[in-house]
Amino acid sequence: MAASSKSDVELGFAEKTHGWRLNSKYFPCKFGGKPSWLHLKNLPLPESLQCSCCKNPYTFLLQIYAPINELKTCFHRTVFVFCCRSAECYKPNSNLPFAAFRSQLPRKNDYYSYHPPTESEDSKPVNPVDFEQRMCEVCGCLGPKRCGKCHETNYCSRNHQMIDWKEGHKFSCGKDEGRTPEYKNVLFPEYEVVIETEELNTAEETDKSEEDKMRDYSEFMKSEQGKSMLRNEDMTQEDLEKMALHEEDVQFKKFRERINHEPEQILRYDRGGEPLWISSKHIPKSNDIPLCQCGAPRIFEFQILPQLLNYLHVDSLGASIDWGTLAIYTCSKNCDTGPVYHPEFVWKQECGDTPKIKTEDTVSQ
Ligand SMILES: [Zn+2]
Ligand SMILES: [Zn+2]
Ligand SMILES: [Zn+2]
Ligand SMILES: [Zn+2]
């Protein structure tokens, strides 16, 4: 039977598109390139966009436009994720090289029209510079520092100033010539993220019952009866380890089977739901997720899958940027106090001992 059913999860897929369509005024979901800021003032300060490991500036990873219909303050709402570009900062089970921010706006606001804009290549883009913000030439984040020679080009940090100098600013400094370096060693390739509802075919039903059986079995082994059975049969440490390994496989199998319905997915969105963990190791307990600055608990909002890595061209860096999954947790109350870009929380889970997932066709550019 080829019946299918819709799930509550929205999936994200990478799609090449024209750069102009990813401007802030169209409220895009996207990854790579420079961020398309929602609030165009009061952007995150360079200090808050510094890797907690190596102190270098983060690179923009991805943003998801996710308004909350019931909340007037969240008529527009975008969650931004940043990560470090150095592979050395990716340590097992460490959430350090990531940052996330939530930005939201009511329908009536200082930046965008009340009605959706007509999409056209010729219409004027909207950027923080229109609101007197100085933006870093390299990364597109706030750039309070200025080139000391021309006093015209802005940077978030000395690090990015040095990168730009080498990328050609040493020739163009003070001259009035158009230059559009791509900063390929800083920015990730830019794609739109297209969102579709997940559809599950009935094949999953059989998998589920198999999983249930496995769960029953492991529950039983933990019970008094199961434990005494273990004692009687004189299970060795090795046997127990094998069993644990098998449980690990079950989580990975569950992950793989769910993903296989749509193998190209790079993101799963299910605010208030549960992440699809890739392994049974390093799953956060509720007190591992810090409370929001407002005091409210954070809830799961979306997860980034390892498939995204295929698009980022990071493998060539030797020891590479890597994750099994990144789960993004945001304020359950969508608070509107404190900084305009509200810091949120990223949890990284490794692939575990299981092989890395790659989609069939590797993306070429
Ligand atoms: Zn770092
Ligand atoms: Zn910068
Ligand atoms: Zn200059
Ligand atoms: Zn909050």
CB atoms within 10 A of CB 303: 25
Q: What is the mean pLDDT of residues 256-273?
A: 96
Q: What is the mean pLDDT of residues 218-244?
A: 60
Q: DSSP assignment of 227-293, as one string?
A: HHHHHHTT--HHHHHHHHHHHHHHHHHHHHHHHTTSTT--EEE-TTS----SSSSSPPPGGGSPPPT
Q: Give the separation between CA 284 and CA 286, rounded to whole angstroms.
A: 6
Q: Is 315 inside any structural domain?
A: yes
Name the residues around ion ligand 2, CB cutoff 5 A.
136, 138-139, 156, 160
Q: Give the separation between CA 52 and CA 133, rounded to whole angstroms.
A: 25
Supply the pLDDT for residue 201.
77
The pair phi, psi for residue 260, each rounded to 5°, is -60, -20
Q: What is the mean pLDDT of residues 116-133?
A: 93
Instruction: Among 216, 236, 259, give the residue marking a domain's end.
Output: 259
Q: Is 23 inside any structural domain?
A: yes
Please indicate, yes or no, whether residues 57 and 110 belong to a single structural domain of this protein.
yes
Q: Give the separation between CA 341 and CA 90, rounded to whole angstroms.
A: 25
Ligand nearest to the CA of 51: 1
Ligand 2 midpoint to CA 167 (Å): 13
Ligand 1 midpoint to CA 88 (Å): 7
List, for residues 150-172, the tens digit of each pLDDT value: 999 999 999 999 999 999 999 99
Supply the pLDDT for residue 245.
62
List, for residues 320-364, the tens digit of each pLDDT value: 788 999 999 999 999 998 899 999 999 999 876 544 444 444 444
Q: Is 56 inside any structural domain?
A: yes
Among 40-44, 179-183, 255-259, the range scoring the smallest mean pLDDT is: 179-183
List, for residues 37-88, the tens digit of each pLDDT value: 999 999 999 999 999 999 999 999 999 999 999 999 999 999 999 999 998 8
Ligand 3 midpoint to CA 21 (Å): 30
Q: Considering the chain, what percentage of its residues have pLDDT values greater than 90?
A: 67
Dihedral angle computed from the Cα positions of residues 106, 108, 112 and 117, in that order, rounded to the nearest 10 degrees: 100
Q: Hey, what are 90's tokens?
A: 């990716």
Please indicate, yes or no, whether residues 224 and 327 belong to a single structural domain of this protein.
no
Closest C-alpha to 81, from 93, 67, 95: 95
Q: What is the mean pLDDT of residues 301-327?
A: 86
Closest C-alpha to 49, from 155, 165, 183: 155
Q: Hey, what are 43's tokens?
A: 């952007």
Q: Is 143 inside any structural domain?
A: no
Q: Hey, what are 125's tokens?
A: 């883009």
Confidence band (pLDDT; 50, 70, 90) for 238? Answer: low
Q: What is the mean pLDDT of residues 16-45?
A: 97
> Is residue 172 helix, strand or coil?
helix
Please indicate, yes or no, whether residues 216 and 296 belong to a single structural domain of this protein.
no
Ligand nearest to the CA of 170: 3
Q: Give the separation between CA 38 and CA 43, rounded to whole angstroms.
A: 9
Ligand 1 midpoint to CA 89 (Å): 5
Q: What is the mean pLDDT of residues 288-296?
A: 97
Q: Is 74 inside any structural domain?
A: yes
Q: Is 364 inside any structural domain?
A: no
Q: Is 269 inside any structural domain?
A: yes
CA–CA–CA angle 134, 60, 170 (5° rounding): 55
Please indicate, yes or no, whether residues 24 and 110 belong to a single structural domain of this protein.
yes
Q: Is 185 inside any structural domain?
A: no
Ligand nearest to the CA of 90: 1
Ligand nearest to the CA of 96: 1
Please indicate, yes or no, whether residues 228 and 271 belong to a single structural domain of this protein.
no
Please indicate, yes or no, whether residues 247 and 279 belong to a single structural domain of this protein.
no
Confidence band (pLDDT; 50, 70, 90) for 291? Answer: very high
Domain range for 38 is 7-126+190-196+263-349
* Count of domains observed in the chain: 2
Ligand nearest to the CA of 142: 2
Please indicate, yes or no, whether residues 289 and 337 belong to a single structural domain of this protein.
yes
Ligand nearest to the CA of 169: 3
Ligand nearest to the CA of 337: 4
Ligand 3 midpoint to CA 138 (Å): 13
Instruction: Among 222, 242, 259, give the residue marking a domain's end.
Output: 259
Supply the pLDDT for residue 362.
42
Ligand 2 midpoint to CA 30 (Å): 19
Size of the chain, expressed as the number of residues it contains: 365
